[in-house]
């Protein structure tokens, strides 16, 4: 039922075949690369991606906080995206949209420089070393982000995983062109450096209830 409903949602775009990078929305096949601002949002406001968006709490929170910016939550789990997209429609949030696809395919659906900023919120840390290349701060994903972002575009990571946090720091420090703008191993131990960090997802609330600390990284490519 949810998947049938979501197929008709005008704020959801889905890729059904990883071998064929085509998007579908509201029963239509569409080409969106380079057209998100005009083709969906109807304005030229900057676009932020939330990767591993889950139920879309962060996408929704950011859209409410910054009505003059556009936000797209990205995840592969349709049942989760349905929740966020449904709330966005109920609340009438025109600056919140959702993309159901594998994050590895992002460059099929966005042009270089089309994204102003990226948030990665509580992604799967893939703790096994054999799966380290699936972590969203691994080198192959960093290369994708660099191509999608314009000069000065920032990437934010929010996680409860000490392993992912340390891995991310090591990976970023190994790239001379990357400038780490902020790193914090316990954001709630003091004043929050950004108001956006006060937004909490379903999973973050669970982590906090379990006594975990929340970590934050912000970085960009220096000299760009």
Q: How many whole angstroms separate alpha carbon 203 and alpha carbon 90? A: 23
Closest alpha carbon to 33 in 85, 89, 105, 88: 105
Q: What is the largest CA-CA distance in the chain?
A: 49
Sheet with 47-51, side-by-side order of all strands: 28-30, 23-25, 12-14, 96-100, 70-75, 47-51, 117-121, 154-159, 215-221, 178-184
The three-state secondary structure class of 64 is: helix
CB 94 within 8 A of CB 41: yes
**Residue 124 annotated among the catalytic residues of the structure:** yes
The catalytic position among 124, 160, 191, 210 is: 124
Active site residues: 124
């Amino acid at each position: 039922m949810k998947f049938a409903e979501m197929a008709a949602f005008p704020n959801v775009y889905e890729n059904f075949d990883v071998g064929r990078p085509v998007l579908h929305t509201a029963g239509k096949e569409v080409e969106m690369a380079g057209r998100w601002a005009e083709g969906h949002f109807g304005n030229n406001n900057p676009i932020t991606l939330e990767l591993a968006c889950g139920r879309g709490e962060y996408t929704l929170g950011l859209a409410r906080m910054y009505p003059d910016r556009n936000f797209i939550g990205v995840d592969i789990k349709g049942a989760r995206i349905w929740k966020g997209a449904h709330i966005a429609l109920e609340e009438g949030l025109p600056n919140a949209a959702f993309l159901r696809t594998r994050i590895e395919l992002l460059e099929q659906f966005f042009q270089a420089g089309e994204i102003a900023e990226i948030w990665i919120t509580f992604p799967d840390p893939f703790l096994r070393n054999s799966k380290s290349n699936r972590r969203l701060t691994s080198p192959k994903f960093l290369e994708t982000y660099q191509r999608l972002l314009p000069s000065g575009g920032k990437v934010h990571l929010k996680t409860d995983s000490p392993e992912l946090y340390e891995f991310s720091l090591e990976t970023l420090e190994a790239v001379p062109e990357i400038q780490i703008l902020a790193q914090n191993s316990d954001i709630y131990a003091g004043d929050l450096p950004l108001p956006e960090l006060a937004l909490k997802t379903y999973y973050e609330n669970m982590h906090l209830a379990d006594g975990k600390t929340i970590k934050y990284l912000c970085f960009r490519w220096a000299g760009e």
